[in-house]
Amino acid sequence: MTPAPPADARAHLAELLAQALRAVAPEGAGIAIVIERPRHAGHGDYACNLALQLAKLLQRTPRDIAGSLVAALPASPLLEKAEIAGAGFINLYLERSYKQQAVHRALAAGAAYGACALGQKKRVQVEFVSANPTGPLHVGHGRGAAFGASLANVLAAAGFDVNREYYVNDAGRQMDILAVSTWLRYLELCGIAIAFPGNAYQGDYVRDMARALHGGHGARFKRDITGGTIAAWLSAGDEEAGLDALIAGAKSALGADYGIVHGFALSEQLADCRDDLAEFGVAFDRWFSEQSLFDSGRVERAVRMLEEKGHLYAEGGALWFRSEAYGDEKNRVVRRENGQYTYFASDIAYHLDKFERGFDLAIDVWGADHHGYIARVKGAVAALGLDPQRLNVALVQFAALYRKGERVPMSTRAGEFVTLRELRREVGNDAARFFYVLRKSDQHLDFDLDLAVSRSNENPVYYVQYAHARVCSLLEQWGGDAATLETADVAPLVSAQESRLLARLMEYPEAVENAARDLAPHTLAFYLRELAADFHSYYNATRILVEEAALQRARLALAAAVRRVLANGLALLGVSAPEKM
């Protein structure tokens, strides 16, 4: 029985070249063999620069070495020919029959087409969004959500065991500000006139929470406090110092009830965040509480571990981590002079906890403004005796939203922002998810609302989805059983446009693998646009429902394979694949 041809052509070609290398230059056997797609289709299906890498070692010209390697290539049913080009590149051409089988591979694998074993079942945690639960998610947070969810999907398709996590910052000053902001609005409902501080949270959602608090508890949290008392607290130093004095005053006045107000504000905003993300198609395996790190003693334990290893020192009554030794611009406080642990201390404990839970890799998705934070966190991981290479940080620039050419301001405290929910209602989940991943995550993104809602070829998500819907319409017009196309004879697919589509179908598993390796789901969005463009061009130039039965079935099978790949790729990006548009 003839063995089935390998599904991974690139790996097969790399092995052929490895055999040729052992025959021509065994002393260079350790050189990595890189097989890439050439920029121009006329330069073959793949290209390799191995001869250029060997030139210095062998003291021969690259073209001469390339000739020897090509001559030593073992015979293969996949390889039609190998040619030498330029300074010594080896261009590799696959047999047409093998490329045609991409149709069968895509249809037979179905939803699993594109999956690979890159991850080897390694456990990877992807922590993303993790926005302070101090207000509704805005369009800036949406990009981190779309990127993180798409990345997690891509990693799962590439063979990783993925865990999705949201880190809830429920232990810091921002939550205190939200709790006090809610309480002040509540006091207004109780008839106390207040000059509301400008650096507290201003949004209407704060008033909504105050009304809910008042409706559920009546006057329970009203205290014998005047607007003048609150103004006195706020006048203690500069604006931020005044806000801290207000927080301290509220805690003193409310006593044990402060925890109820704080917990109410937290639960309200966290519930809103959960619902918003769920509606956006973003799900998490775990919502991890920062406060739990303090309650369980894990922050204290992590700091003690660093101290015992000699990575901390005392100065000015505070405890400092020697982060300069790990490339940070200065050393960092982990415990203040008042005995309170810093946010950095809880972050150290959190990352220690990640690896103690058994994850092989941890991927943190942070806003680009946290770039300077990377060195100190990786330094702390290393200081704890862990491999910092197991922590990978992906930076995401916040998206700027434009409506009618004008930028929309976003500030959570000021209450001037467009929420993710509002964006989704205006443009839809699909456009939001696709637009967010159209550019590399650490690059600036201008989100054009007018384009996102347009039904034109200039709208990239519409363009890709329309290609899927076009195939569905074509198959409906045909009226046959699409499942039978899996065994269609694809030998008639010989035109230049058909060859281009076949090559594109073959690229899909590589596109998934590369997106996973580079933590770059935007490359998958690029791939889908190119596949859609190739299909639209083919559809417009080629009659598919021809009279000749064999040719018709071959072309229908090709279209069905395109539909399958479009659906698979869109699913990884969290975008639907409509059958009608």
pTM for this structure?
Answer: 0.93
Phi-psi region of 319 (alpha: psi -120 to 50; beta: other; left: phi over 0): beta
Q: Which amino acid would we find at residue 229?
A: T
pLDDT of residue 398: 82
pLDDT of residue 483: 96
pLDDT of residue 410: 60
pLDDT of residue 291: 96
pLDDT of residue 406: 87
- How far apart, in Å, are the Cα atoms of 548 and each of 178, 310, 483? 70, 79, 20
- How far apart, in Å, are the Cα atoms of 369 and each of 355, 394, 397, 442, 518? 25, 12, 8, 10, 21
pLDDT of residue 413: 47
Per-residue pLDDT of the chain (581 residues; tens, 9 = 90+): 345 567 789 999 999 999 999 999 999 988 999 999 998 878 899 999 999 999 999 999 999 999 999 999 999 999 999 999 999 999 999 999 999 999 999 999 999 999 999 999 999 999 999 999 999 998 889 999 999 999 999 999 999 999 999 999 999 899 999 999 999 999 999 999 998 999 999 889 999 999 999 999 999 999 998 888 999 999 888 889 999 999 999 999 999 999 999 999 999 999 999 999 999 999 999 999 999 999 999 999 999 999 999 999 999 999 999 999 999 999 999 999 999 999 999 999 999 999 999 999 999 999 999 999 999 999 999 999 999 999 999 999 988 888 888 887 665 445 566 889 999 999 999 999 999 999 999 999 999 999 999 999 999 999 999 999 999 999 999 999 999 999 999 999 999 999 999 999 999 999 999 999 999 999 999 999 999 999 999 999 999 999 999 999 999 999 999 999 999 999 999 999 999 99
pLDDT of residue 411: 56
Domains of the chain: 9-94 (3.30.1360.70), 123-169+277-396 (3.40.50.620), 173-271 (no CATH), 457-572 (1.10.730.10)
Q: Give the number of other CB atoms < 10 A from CB of residue 438.
A: 17
Q: Give the number of other CB atoms < 10 A from CB of residue 328.
A: 20
Angle, CA of 356, 357 and 358, to the nearest 5°:
85
- Reading the block at residue 200, the tokens are 């507290």
Angle, CA of 269, 271 and 272, to the nearest 5°:
65
